[in-house]
Amino acid sequence: MRQTIAGNWKMHGLTQDAASLATALLGAGPLTRDLLVCPPATQIAAVARILAGTPVAVGGQDCHSAVQGAFTGDISAAMLRDAGASHVILGHSERRQYHAESDDAVRAKVLAAQAAGLTAIVCVGENDAERQAGWETGVVGKQLNASLPDDFAGILAYEPVWAIGTGRTATEADVAAMHLFIRQTLVRRFGPAGEAFSILYGGSVRPANAASLLAVPHVGGALVGGASLKAEDFLGIARA
Ligand code: PEP
């Protein structure tokens, strides 16, 4: 299975910045990995226009679970699709932390995304205190069981919260152990189909550490925050 390098641009940049970044990705040349960029919602349409017809897919960073309605400030999955997105990140730790998103809320969003024809990228991961206490597999197992619907057909991202934006990358051994645990959990729940889900790693991935992280068994690619804001770094990870 080809690995995916997904960039989460978070709440950075204006349309001109997004356009420059997307344009810089046009010159990537042939890659052995798939690319996906997830700009802020207001920039999805502009970025999708620039990347149309290229192998670089575009995604959202969140969506609402309802098809439509009186939800001021929210964006539906169909709206993301309409703007040119094919994917959506759901349950990112920053959504779980700052918007109190529960596993149930994430599962409802996954169902909405799938109904709208989007590929959901569901994020799971323990925080620092949970890892210090040795609870990481318990936390991630619970998130997986409750955040994924029975007909899940998307991508997973293991993102230890303590490694996001901190420069503290998980060790290859930690990544290997957790990705194996996630794989086993998926196979227990979904049967042989659980073998096919792609499981990205996210947390301070950089060009310098990408090759070793991407070589870990059961790592299906990377979800990249900070380093996705510079085309050179993002492409450096894709080529690592
Ligand atoms: C993220 O926000 O999903 C992320 C992995 O960020 P960073 O690469 O900056 O750690």
Work out which ligand 1 atom sits closest to the CA atom of 94.
2
Rounded to whole angstroms, how far apart are CA atoms 122 and 164?
A: 15
Asked if 92 is an active-site residue, the reply is: yes
* pLDDT at site 30: 86
CB of 112 closer than 8 Å to CB of 66: yes
Tell how far the Cα of 7 is from the centroid of ligand 1, in angstroms.
Answer: 9
* pLDDT at site 38: 98
Q: What is the mean pLDDT of the chain?
A: 97
Tell how far the Cα of 150 is from the centroid of ligand 1, in angstroms.
Answer: 28
* pLDDT at site 94: 97
The identity of residue 69, as a single letter, is G
Q: How confident is the model at residue 202 (pLDDT cuts 50, 70, 90)?
A: very high
Cβ–ligand 1 contact at 60 (below 6 Å): no
| H or E element that contains 2 | none
Q: How confident is the model at residue 74 (pLDDT cuts 50, 70, 90)?
A: very high
- pLDDT tens-digit profile of 213-233? 999 999 999 999 999 999 999
Q: How confident is the model at residue 118 (pLDDT cuts 50, 70, 90)?
A: very high
Mean pLDDT of 170-195: 97
* pLDDT at site 1: 86
Tell how far the Cα of 189 is from the centroid of ligand 1, in angstroms.
Answer: 28
Considering the four listed CATH numbers 3.30.70.270, 3.40.640.10, 3.20.20.70, 3.40.50.2300, the one that applies to the domain covering 4-10+34-40+48-167+175-239 is 3.20.20.70
Structure pTM?
Answer: 0.97
Cβ–ligand 1 contact at 165 (below 6 Å): yes
Cβ–ligand 1 contact at 224 (below 6 Å): yes
| H or E element that contains 128 | helix 128-132
Rounded to whole angstroms, how far apart are CA atoms 100 and 156?
A: 20
Mean pLDDT of 15-23: 97
Rounded to whole angstroms, how far apart are CA atoms 223 and 3?
A: 11
Q: Which residues of 214-235 are buried (b: 16+ CB within 10 A; e: fewer)?
A: bebebbbbbbbbbbbbebebbb
CB-count exposure of residue 210 (10 Å: 0-12, 13-18, 19+): buried
Ligand 1 pocket test: pick from 94, 159, 169, 237 the residue with the most ligand atoms within 8 Å of its Cβ.
159
Nearest protein Cα to ligand 1, atom 4: 225
Ligand 1 pocket test: pick from 9, 92, 121, 205 the residue with the most ligand atoms within 8 Å of its Cβ.
205
Lowest mean per-residue pLDDT among 25-29, 37-41, 127-131, 146-150? 25-29
Residue 35 backbone dihedrals phi, psi, to 5 degrees: -115, 145
Ordered DSSP codes for 132-193: HTT-HHHHHHHHHHHHS-TT--SEEEE--GGGTTTS-PPPHHHHHHHHHHHHHHHHHHHGGG
